[in-house]
Amino acid sequence: MSPMMVIFLIFLFIPIAFALFVSFTNWNGITPLGQTQSQTTGVVLFTNLTTDPVTIPAGTIVTTEGAARSATGSPRMSP
């Protein structure tokens, strides 16, 4: 195996695979994975994420736009 493939495997593929594994379990991040029963809650979590209605409080978009403009220093004024 070439050194580039080893680097690719260690620093890209393994963290992505571990993140996918952790996203489908109810692991608290502190206890070792082998010592506790990992509950698989990811399928329900991702299903609820796609079916729940998203409500945005009034003013969130305006506040976010104003913060982004002031952070980037845009000379254009908002109406």
Alpha-carbon Rg of the chain, whole angstroms?
A: 21
42-59 per-position pLDDT tens digit: 777 777 666 666 655 555
pTM for the model stands at 0.51
25-47 per-position pLDDT tens digit: 877 788 787 665 656 677 777 77
- State the Cα torsion 52-46-22-12 to the nearest 10°: -110
